[in-house]
Amino acid sequence: MKKVTGNTNQEEAQRLRTVGPKIADLLSEIEKEAVPERLMDFAHELQRALAEKLDNQD
């Protein structure tokens, strides 16, 4: 079971800020490759969801 601390929201926000650029980099790499359209749609959906979550954290 995960221990909940007062810094949990701050830690999650920091993790999301770190993950955001990594996802953007991965998405740009995926766009260079021949991938199924559904996979590309999923990658864009993931990026939008992460951006929304980051916006709602502030």
Task: Give per-residue pLDDT as tens, 1-58.
Answer: 444 455 666 776 666 667 778 877 887 887 788 878 888 888 889 888 888 888 887 6
Q: In this structure, what token pair is assigned to residue 15?
A: 């993790």
Look at the pTM and tell me if it is higher than 0.85.
no
For residue 28, what pLDDT is reported?
82
- Measured CA to CA, the distance from residue 28 to residue 20 in angstroms comes to 13
Per-residue pLDDT, 31: 79
- Residue 6's φ and ψ, nearest 5 degrees, are -65, -20
CA dist., res. 39 & res. 45, Å (int): 10
3-state helix vs strand vs coil in the chain, percent to 5? 80, 0, 20
